[in-house]
Structure 1
Amino acid sequence: MDVIARAVDVTDTTGVKSFVDEVVEAWGGVDVLVNNAGQGKGGNLDTLTPEDILAHANILQMGHFRFVQAVVPHMRAQRWGRIIEINALAGSIPTPDGIPSVINRASCIALSRSLGMSLARDNILVNSLNMGWIDTGQWDRHYKEMPPGVSREEFNEMVLKVVPLGRFGKPEDIAGMALFLASEYASFISAASIDISGGMGGQIAYFPTLKRDFAEAARKRNENA
């Protein structure tokens, strides 16, 4: 299988279009776009500036928009396309912390649903997958934020208290749904917003408090040891 691998800055409109044009020239078109660029960003009213939120939006909202805008003319020309937006559960169910992630993910989901309606007449289907706790490197980072003496087993148990299925999702859980949406089996699905979260919904709102309380209890345990 041929692969074209490039590092593309999603904040660079010209660079995004050039990459898509390169793919079209090599392969004759674009069938499927998976918009997966993004990053989590914490912060609240007391710690953020408007510029912080705008910089995050330029990666998430505008990064997704740039790629859609670059591929859609080619998909229209062939009367077929699938666009899969990788988003986060925090965009569909707000949390009390992490304002940039909450509002920019919500905007990405709204963009996906709007495009899923407007592009359907061209047989271009657009859907959003909203991830819960997926076992990626971000959880190594969260664990390193814990006080000394906290085992990874204790940390995982704390995190998974809010996940009804009781485990982290796997990257394959996302990839499987993306493959389904890119196939003809999903030919009547557009503008859908699908949470892939192991049953977690409103419980996500408790995680910031749970994490802080757990860290404080661990610190007190260390002090009393």
Structure 2
Amino acid sequence: MHIDLSDKRVIVTGASRGIGLGIASAFAAEGCKLAVGARNADTIASIGAELGKAAGDVIARHLDVASDESVSDFVGEVVDRWGGVDVLVNNAGQGQSGTLDDLTPEKLLNHANILQMGHFRMAQAVVPHMRKQRWGRIIDINAVAGSIIPSDGIPSVINRASCIALSKLLGQALAPDNILVNSLNMGWINTGQWDRHYREMPPGVSREEFDEMVLKVVPMGRFGTPEDVAGAALFLASPLANFITGVEINVSGGLGGQITYYPKLKREFSEAMKKRRLESLTAEPT
């Protein structure tokens, strides 16, 4: 069956890079009317111009999902121009580390305002328009760590868990209106965050050694790509997924319960690398 999404009006948040850009590019290639938003206005304008070469029409604007006014203005412009919204991809937001010892309630709430409240604001803004047409698809980009809980990264874990719960709740609550809501839970997707994690390693660790350690918990033995995520998003927006709602799908190469072991693996690897470096510095010259 050929997937034809060319008549759909699609919003993708956090579309300036990484997973969001990969998803937006995939919908553009389908010829959709595409609205992309991100906090960097100049960057998203440039990306919108590029996406417009394939998409049926493009709106590319500044969007801060932590702001009621910004969300309302963005969705309002989409509806004014195209008459409604068919698909929302809630992608804006990023991971944040933190422990009971170094977090403050304010930091935790700030992260929640972007993630769980960002998902809520966007859904609240588009659902009335989807209800009018009795058709809609909401695809929430979340993380495996919000479903299978590791022992590290309090903000990301608890806020992603809340986002997944909201997705499941809305998937049931909005089903009578033919609005389907599902969560795509990310595993190790190869975006800029892994460059940052690598830079946190002790001196002397090669990127090959780091990647080998990270991928020990991924059965497929590789990082995922934004394109891997985009394929799942296209599926959920298509007629092939017309009877799927309120579920979570792991886009993770098989990574599941292994994620609970990863914090321990990372600590042990880091300590071993520090020990190796110390031994190399103290070794007597031959």
Instruction: Give the TM-score normalised by structure 1.
Output: 0.98
Query: Secondary structure, in 3 states, of the residue corresponding to 2:183?
Result: strand
Residue of structure 1 in register with 2:81 after alignment = 26
Q: Aligned AA for 2:263?
A: P
State the superposition RMSD in angstroms: 0.8
2:244 aligns with one of 189, 193, 213? 189
Q: Distance in 2 between matches of 1:213 and 1:27?
A: 53
One-letter code aligned to 2:272: A
Consecutive unaligned residues in structure 1, runs of 5 or more: none
SS of the residue 2:249 aligns to: strand
Aligned to 2:271: 216
CA distance in 2, matches of 1:161, 1:107: 28
2:138 pairs with 1:83:
yes
* Aligned equivalent of 1:66: 121
SS in 2 for 1:9: coil
Post-superposition, which runs of at least 4 consecutive aligned residues in structure 1 deviate over 4 A?
Answer: none
SS in 2 for 1:17: helix
Match of 1:172 in 2: 227
Greater relative contact order structure (CA < 8 Å, 6+ sep): 1
**TM-score (norm. length: structure 2):** 0.77
Q: How does 1:131-210 map to 2 (within 5 A)?
A: 131-210=186-265
Hey, what's the Cα distance between the residues in 2 that align with 1:57 and 1:88? Answer: 14
Count of residue pairs the alignment pairs up: 225
Structure 2: runs of 5+ lacking an equivalent: 1-55, 281-286
- Aligned identity (percent) is 73
1:38 is displaced (CA, Å) by 1.3
Per-residue CA shift, 1:99-126, capped at 9, x if unaligned? 1111110000000000000101111000
2:91 alignment partner AA: N
> CA separation in 1, counterparts of 2:155 and 2:257?
19
AA of the residue aligned to 2:239: E
